[in-house]
Amino acid sequence: MAADLSRVGVATPIGHLTVVVSPDGVVCTTTDDPASLDDVLGARPVERRHRAIAQEIAAYFAGRRRSFATAPDLRLVTTPFARAVLERTVEIPYGEMATYGDVAAAAGRPGAARAAGTALRRSPIELFVPCHRVVPAGPGYGRYGGHEDRRTFLLRLEGAI
């Protein structure tokens, strides 16, 4: 798998984002140490063709882009339900939110809101799969993997809150 992967780093308001890219799209993103991606995926340093992804991300954070031309590559998502959850999440429009229950139902399993939350928490791709747009049905916006401030920032950036 590693032979077709490369990576690009981008400074963002939510931290330094490392994006691992295949010929099919974004495989994963992380704000952790990019060396951890090398250990797991063997992604090579940036190739020129991926600089456009860095420009997309910069335009998103500048408020000039509402969607990404680069698609997510879900090769690291191992279950059909998790894949369906992420695919439905990509369809949530910029500036809008859906509940975990909404996404679970759209993925074919009404009543599986907790399982949808687990799939989103394990998503290897941030921004390109806008997990921040999926919130609990109850009050608040949820924990977002311990990064509540990041979710709030992204929802404000998009005008959802």
Pairing of strands 6-12, 15-22: antiparallel
Alpha carbon distances (Å) from 152 to 114, 115, 134, 135, 157:
21, 22, 12, 11, 8
Residue 64 CB burial class (10 angstroms; 0-12, 13-18, ≥19): exposed
- Catalytic member of 8, 112, 131, 155: 131
**Parts of the chain belonging to CATH 1.10.10.10:** 80-157
Q: Span 80-157: which CATH code?
A: 1.10.10.10
N-terminal to C-terminal alpha carbon distance within the chain: 39
Q: Percent of the chain, pLDDT > 70?
A: 87
At 56-76, the pLDDT tens digits run 999 999 999 999 999 999 999
| Region of poorest pLDDT, from 34-43, 67-76, 139-148 | 34-43
Tell me which architecture the domain covering 2-61 has in CATH.
2-Layer Sandwich (3.30)
Percent of the chain scoring above 90 in pLDDT: 64
* 131 among known catalytic residues: yes
Mean pLDDT of the chain: 89
